[in-house]
Amino acid sequence: MAVQRPRVGMYEIGRTLGEGRFAKVKLARHKETGELFAIKIIEKDRLKKVNKMVKREISTMKLIKHPHVVRLVEVLASKKKVYMILEYVGGGELFDKIVEDGKLNENEARRYFQQLIHGVDYCHSRGVYHRDLKPENLLLDTKGNIKISDFGLSALSQQQWDDGLFHTTCGTPNYVAPEVMDGKGYEGAPADLWSCGVILYVLLAGSLPFNDSNLSTLYQKIQKASINFSPNFPAGPQELVKRLLDPNPKTRMTIQEIHEHEWFQAHNSILECDDLDGRFTNGCEITELQDTSRPVPMNAFEIISTLSQGLDLSGLFVEKEDLCKKEAKFASVYPPREILSRIEDFATQLGYKVKKANYKMKILSCKPGRKGFLSMLTEVMEVAPSLFMVDIHKVGGDTLEFRDFQQQLYTGLKEIVWKTEEELAGVC
């Protein structure tokens, strides 16, 4: 007779993956799909002690969806327990790999560091600061890719004090920036980047740059930031480490400067921009047909649907407070070929790759962003014999970067965007 496993909702609970002071993490399998998950189980009687930490972790992880951050699937609760259903990452901790292998070769260390920075950059763009980055909180999936985990000590930008700084001293001593420990307040981004610098050193040296059993002595070493590089420490990343472990957060290396650094750019672990078609999902493929004389007309349902979403045919993009909006629309009386030609010229000037077919256009960034390469599909549709609708929607990449592109595009194409008589007359 088969053993009946305990269940939480649709999840069958399995073996324990890890255990901390306030929570256990167990393996779970979805009863219908068979997919594996990790379930973080928190006793409610213990929750009183860590209530703010758990709420912060849940609210933070809901904001983040990135390939190098552990995904929060859902949160369940019973009378006695809270269950956080998390993406299962089966490759163990990066810390264990370092302990087992010692220092890593330069290319492997660079790959992990690139993925770490891409994930941290994305978190910062959403106003999320981890504050406890270390190899123990970097999990590896079965393909050896990093997943940032454990946001229990994280902070949101809204939690900054009136002086625009955080004041909670937290983190793991060997990885904590000096300004976090001096009690005068600190910014989240430079503090996280200090930790990234320590992690890069550990990856390439197999040991910590600052270490001492006495916390006072350790703090003094961190403040001085005197770094010793062994003769076999690779020369390329030494400048990165030095600039990240700058005790002055104002002059510390920024994420933008990391992205521009020659060593970081080599063998970037994000997909290269070489295959325009391969970056689009099947649902957005453009079928190569013979050119037609007119764009596809919008039917009545499409027009009503578009209008119901708030489209203003005065030519403005659909603008809402929702920062997760993944599409933009505008109307134009210009010929469809000219509309696409103008978009193509503008996108090319910004460094995007473009491919056109049958009043549709694929647009792909050649520079990786926070979530890989930004890719978009544009289509011109006929609303009336002399009025056309231009639809641009994101296929891949970061939504905030799409909004930036959208705003630049609207500014650059103002003269072809249709305006009402009132607008032309300057009437508000």
Q: What angle do CA 419, 422, 426 make, to 5 degrees?
A: 95
Q: How far apart are CA 166 and CA 159, in angstroms?
A: 7
Residue 310: per-residue pLDDT: 40
Residue 324: per-residue pLDDT: 52
Sketch the domain layout of the chain as residue ranges: 7-87, 94-265, 277-424
- As given in the structure block, the two tokens for residue 44 are 């409610």
- The distance from CA 415 to its chain's CA centroid, rounded to whole angstroms, is 34
Q: Which CATH superfamily does the domain covering 7-87 fall into?
A: Phosphorylase Kinase; domain 1 (3.30.200.20)
- 419 labelled ligand-binding: no
Whole-structure pTM value: 0.71
Identity of the residue numbered 394: K
Tell me if 390 sits within 8 A of 331, measured CB to CB.
yes
- As given in the structure block, the two tokens for residue 292 are 């037609």
Catalytic residues: 132
3-state per-residue secondary structure call for the chain: CCCCCCEECCEEEEEEEEECCCEEEEEEEECCCCCEEEEEEEEHHHHHHHHHHHHHHHHHHHCCCCCCECCEEEEEECCCEEEEEEECCCCCEHHHHHHHHCCCCHHHHHHHHHHHHHHHHHHHHCCEECCCCCHHHEEECCCCCEEECCCCCCEEHHHCCCCCCECCCCCCHHHCCHHHHCCCCECHHHHHHHHHHHHHHHHHHCCCCCCCCCHHHHHHHHHHCCCCCCCCCCCCCHHHHHHHCCCCCCCCCCHHHHHHCHHHHCCCCCCCCCCCHHHCCHHHCCCCCCCCCCCCECCHHHHHHHHHCCCCCCCCCCCCCCCCCCEEEEEECCCHHHHHHHHHHHHHHCCEEEEEECCEEEEEECCCEECECCEEEEEEEEEECCEEEEEEEEEECCHHHHHHHHHHHHHHCHHHCCCCHHHHCCCC
Which residue, chain included where needed, has tokens 């973080």?
A: 40
User: Length of the chain, please?
Assistant: 428
Residue 233: per-residue pLDDT: 95
- As given in the structure block, the two tokens for residue 251 are 């002059």
Tell me if 313 sits within 8 A of 332, measured CB to CB.
no
CATH code for residues 94-265: 1.10.510.10
Domain 277-424 has CATH 2.160.10.10: no
Identity of the residue numbered 263: W
Residue 415: per-residue pLDDT: 82
Which residue, chain included where needed, has tokens 């407070």?
A: 321
Q: What is the mean pLDDT of each run of 10 residues along the chain (428 residues)?
A: 74 87 87 93 72 79 89 88 91 91 92 95 92 95 92 88 90 95 93 97 95 92 93 94 96 94 78 59 44 55 46 40 64 86 88 85 84 86 81 85 86 75 44
